[in-house]
Amino acid sequence: MIIHATTILGLRYKNTVAMGGDGQVSFHDTIMKAKAVKVRKLHDDRILAGFAGAAADALALFERFENKIGEYSGNLPRAAVELAKDWRTDKYLQKLEALLAVADNKHSLLIAGSGEVVEPDDGILAIGSGGPYALAAARALLSTNPSLSAEEIVRKALKIAADICVYTNENITVETIKC
């Protein structure tokens, strides 16, 4: 599944987890909205979640994910696996076109409708059409600017992605939690 129309970047660095997203909502080649918020805090502000893909689909997944987090008492990996299982087997959910990036103080996970739950080796998550650009920028910033905070790296990397990806803009929202 190729998801266009957004960039979400999550990063664990210096005892902080930061996740940010751009504000652009696109419909084919038209910008429909410039200041959407695609990242939010969940479960008493202990989990960050961001989405890429169809907005209505992602909001439906946020709701399902919040229910799973509650059902599994904040256990992020378990809730992610259970959501992925439901997503893959439920006839309604199978039609949803979105990806979720989620993180807490221990785990960073990508959840996809085809059943994948992936935890990156380096703790950096990037999804959406600008994801590869933001990922590369974040890795470069980490190696060349160790004095930056997690939030600063996410903001700068998303700005770089916005300069490259036509489906990403500079209206950036970043949320953070402490590890």
DSSP string, 56-125: HHHHHHHHHHHHHHHHTTT-HHHHHHHHHHHHHH-TTGGG--EEEEEE-SS-EEEEETTS-EE--TTSEE
Buried b (16+ CB within 10 A) or exposed e, 39-69: bbebbeeebbbbbbbbbebbeebbebbbebb
State the pLDDT at residue 93: 67
Note if 6 is an active site residue.
yes
Catalytic residue among 6, 7, 168, 173: 6
Output the six-digit token pair for 30.
């038209």
State the pLDDT at residue 5: 67
Answer yes or no: is pLDDT of 78 > 50: yes
What does the alpha-carbon distance between residue 1 and residue 127 come to, in Å, rounded to a whole number? 11
- Mean pLDDT for the chain overall: 91
Per residue in 84-121, pLDDT (tens digit) is 988 888 776 666 778 899 999 999 999 987 788 999 99
Per residue in 65-76, pLDDT (tens digit) is 999 999 999 999
Answer yes or no: is pLDDT of 166 > 70: yes
- All domains in the chain, ordered by first residue: 7-64+98-110+117-178 (3.60.20.10)
Residue 123: pLDDT band with limits 50, 70, 90: very high
Least confident of 42-46, 91-95, 134-138: 91-95
